[in-house]
């Protein structure tokens, strides 16, 4: 029996088709699983976004794209800070699989700059530590790492067994901080701690805020001084954004955490505005910095030409400075002029083609802008681990139920700093901004920017991807390494939107040009015509073929 997805559409064949696709996907599941999945498979309505069952546990047995809490903390948010040592406390596998697997690029500023990102450090827990405890081995590893590298700071990450046996990583960090005289801090980011890597982002935000933000009050001297939060420099994205901001005269003190140093993070609280790229991974930090130091935040997006222009204009509007506004307009005009011939050429070939995007907690939304730039429509999209607000918009935040899995993650209490809190705008300035229609924290989520009756699929499974390809035949799918080759064996190109398949950057005007060309190339290479998808193969499969 098919599970009910949405109320039956009245005289809307498009909605009926969308609903039928989702029902076909659900048919293979046992009734209980289908009921749960039905809350995560929706037909979109941009006017009144339907409620989605996001950030819930994946049913065991379903092949998910998700990662673990340790990955979100160590790998995503803190790992890219390149001049502190990152030590994984756990068996060697966790350290090994988080070694250089994310393309958060770094380039040294000076010849004597430190970059530890090519190292994988682990306490290499063995049976003995699992039985008798691993705190001594951890302390020893910290000492050893310090003696070899003399870093400015050391960060420790707990893996699953550490939480199970109860090692107190925080007290080890405190002792070592005292012994070595450098900043040492730890994260209880055991893989099982939350339903996905999203919990690790939250834990990381708390730790960065507690142990790094605010340590150095000597800020950079710049007229228009901002941070770029939630930008990790995958394939050089942060560099492309920084280039365009620099042309406008906007200074970035810290990018959290793409190509960033420990010192930059320590003075991040001195800026006047926080701009947030990836809302999912860093919204906690933006909120905490506002509360403690008075830094307001706005959502930005530098993926796509229109989005880049809109974000630059919004930053300029915040500073209420004519000079800056003029320069921003010049940069936008120049960027668009350079981009236009490429965009036109690619649009002529790609217009009308269909994309589907399943990635992370941010890009499934932002990359739709790049596709619409070249006349392509996104027919289905979904996040791996985002929450309801990333789909439905921040206005639903008060209605999100806190379940046992979210209660597991510490909510730190942040208070206004009695000395360092400084309102960045006077009430009059805020009034003027409001009159111009300027809004802070205005993230409206993915659904309101997608067409009516498009498919929204949260935490998509391999089975559902196969059905999507079979039934809706997208011309390209953006996803990750776990799906890439399954999709390509079905004759559909798959662009990896986590790692960018060795290329990038894809942000700002420069990145847009790169992406248009890449999609054009992938769509039009002849190789896909040689692939026969499994459902069109008629030859019987035999297992006893005699070799010639």
**Which residues are the active-site residues?**
68, 71, 102, 201
Nearest of 208, 200, 194 to residue 102 by alpha carbon: 200
Candidates 134, 207, 214, 361: give the one binding ligand CFM (CB under 6 A).
361
Q: Does position 55 bind ligand CFM by CB under 6 A?
A: no
76 binds ligand CFM (CB under 6 A): yes
Site string for ligand CFM, 18-47 (x = CB under 6 A): ------------------------------
Residue 360 interacts with ligand CFM (CB under 6 A)?
A: yes
DSSP string, 167-199: --HHHHHHHHHHHHSSEEEEE---GGGSSSHHH
- In 10 A of CB 336, how many CB atoms? 16
The percent helix, strand, coil of the chain (3-state, each to 5) is: 45, 10, 40
523 binds ligand CFM (CB under 6 A): no
Applying CB under 6 A, the site for ligand CFM has a residue count of: 16
102 binds ligand CFM (CB under 6 A): yes
Question: Judged by CB under 6 A, does residue 303 bind ligand CFM?
Answer: no
Site string for ligand CFM, 304-333 (x = CB under 6 A): ------------------------------
Part of the chain binding ligand CFM (CB under 6 A), chosen from 115-123, 227-235, 238-246, 428-436: 227-235
The HSE-up count of residue 522 (CA atoms within 13 Å, CB side) is 22
Residue closer to ligand CFM by CB (options 101, 372) is 101
Span interacting with ligand CFM, options 229-237, 284-292, 296-304, 444-452, rule CB under 6 A = 229-237
Between 335 and 361, name the residue whose CB sits nearer to ligand CFM.
361
Shortest distance, position 498 Cβ to ligand CFM, whole Å: 4
504: contact with ligand CFM by CB under 6 A: no
Minimum CB distance to ligand CFM smaller for 102 or for 313: 102
Regarding 498 and contact with ligand CFM (CB under 6 A), the answer is yes
301 touches ligand CFM by CB under 6 A = no
Name which position in 197, 255, 274, 479 contacts ligand CFM (CB under 6 A): 197
User: Which residues within the stretch 259-278 sit at the binding site for ligand CFM (CB under 6 A)?
Assistant: 278
| Alpha carbon distances (Å) from 116 to 104, 107, 113, 252 | 13, 12, 10, 23
Cα angle, residue 477 at apex, residues 445 and 481 outer, rounded to 5°:
100
Which span (166-174, 206-214, 228-236, 402-410) binds ligand CFM, by CB under 6 A? 228-236
The residue within the footprint of ligand CFM, chosen from 202, 280, 388, 467 (CB under 6 A), is 280
Residue 359 binds ligand CFM (CB under 6 A): yes
Provide, rounded to whole angstroms, the least separation between the CB of residue 23 and ligand CFM: 28
C-alpha–C-alpha distance, residues 354 and 376, integer Å: 6
Q: Which residues pair with 254 in a beta bridge?
A: 227
Q: d(Cα 311, Cα 302) in Å, to the nearest integer?
A: 7
Position 291 contacts ligand CFM (CB under 6 A): no
Are the C-beta atoms of 173 and 186 separated by less than 8 Å? yes
384 to 66, 87, 393, 488: CA distances (angstroms)? 6, 27, 17, 20
Taking CB under 6 A as the criterion, the residue among 208, 234, 271, 276 binding ligand CFM is: 234
- Least Cα distance to 172 among 206, 202, 142, 147 occurs for 142
Q: Least distance to ligand CFM from the beta carbon of 321, Å?
A: 30
Would you count residue 363 as binding ligand CFM (CB under 6 A)? Answer: yes
Roughly how many angstroms between the first and final C-alpha of the chain, as a whole number? 48
> Alpha helix locations (H) across 80-168?
92-97, 127-132, 135-149, 160-165
**Which positions lie near ligand CFM, rule CB under 6 A?**
72, 76, 102, 197, 230, 232, 234, 278, 280-281, 359-363, 498
């Amino acid at each position: 029996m098919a599970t009910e997805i949405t109320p039956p559409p009245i005289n809307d064949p498009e909605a009926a088709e969308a609903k039928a696709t989702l029902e076909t996907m659900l048919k293979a599941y046992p009734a209980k699983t289908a009921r749960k999945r039905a809350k995560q498979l929706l037909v979109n309505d941009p006017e009144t976004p339907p409620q989605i069952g996001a950030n819930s546990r994946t049913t065991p047995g379903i092949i998910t794209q998700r990662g673990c809490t340790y990955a979100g903390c160590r790998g995503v948010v803190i790992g890219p800070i390149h001049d502190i040592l990152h030590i994984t406390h756990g068996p060697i596998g966790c350290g090994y699989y988080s070694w250089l697997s994310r393309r958060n690029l770094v380039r040294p500023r000076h010849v004597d700059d430190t970059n530890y990102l090519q190292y994988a450090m682990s306490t290499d827990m063995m049976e003995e530590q699992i039985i008798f405890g691993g705190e001594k081995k951890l302390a020893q590893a910290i000492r050893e790492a310090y003696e070899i590298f003399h870093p400015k700071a050391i960060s420790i990450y707990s893996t699953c067994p550490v939480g199970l046996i109860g090692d107190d990583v925080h007290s080890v960090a405190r002792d070592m901080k005292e012994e070595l005289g450098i900043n040492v801090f730890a994260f209880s980011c055991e893989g099982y701690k939350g339903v996905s890597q999203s919990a690790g982002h939250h834990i990381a935000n708390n730790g960065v805020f507690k142990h790094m933000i605010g340590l150095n009050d000597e800020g950079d001297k710049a007229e228009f001084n901002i941070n770029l939060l939630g930008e990790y420099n995958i394939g050089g994205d942060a560099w492309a954004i920084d280039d365009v901001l620099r042309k406008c005269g906007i200074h970035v003190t810290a990018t959290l955490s793409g190509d960033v140093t420990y010192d930059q993070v320590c003075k991040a609280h001195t800026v006047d505005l926080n701009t947030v790229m990836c809302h999912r991974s860093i919204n906690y930090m933006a909120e905490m910095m506002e509360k403690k130091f008075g830094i307001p935040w706005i959502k930005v997006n530098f993926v796509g030409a229109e989005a880049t222009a809109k974000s630059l204009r919004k930053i300029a509007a915040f500073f209420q400075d004519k000079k800056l506004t003029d320069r921003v307009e010049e940069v936008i005009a120049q960027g668009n002029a350079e981009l236009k011939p490429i965009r036109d050429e690619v649009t002529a070939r790609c217009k009308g083609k269909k994309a589907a995007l399943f990635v992370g907690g941010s890009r499934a939304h932002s990359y739709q802008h790049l596709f619409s730039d070249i006349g392509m429509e996104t027919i289905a999209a979904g996040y791996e681990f985002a929450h309801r607000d990333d789909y439905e918009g921040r206005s639903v935040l008060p209605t999100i139920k806190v379940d046992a899995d979210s209660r597991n993650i510490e909510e730190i209490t942040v208070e206004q700093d009695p000395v360092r809190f400084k309102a960045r705008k006077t009430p009059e300035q805020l009034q003027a901004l409001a009159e111009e229609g300027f809004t802070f924290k205005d993230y409206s989520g993915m659904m309101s920017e997608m067409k009516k009756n498009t498919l929204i699929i949260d935490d998509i499974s391999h089975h559902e991807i196969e059905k999507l390809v079979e039934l809706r035949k997208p011309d390209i799918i953006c996803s990750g390494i776990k799906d890439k080759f399954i999709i390509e064996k079905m004759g559909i190109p798959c662009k990896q939107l986590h790692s960018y398949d060795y290329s990038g950057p894809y942000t700002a005007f420069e990145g847009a040009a790169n992406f248009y060309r890449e999609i054009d190339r992938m769509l039009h290479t002849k190789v896909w015509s040689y692939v026969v998808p499994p459902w069109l193969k008629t030859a019987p499969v035999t297992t006893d073929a005699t070799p010639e």
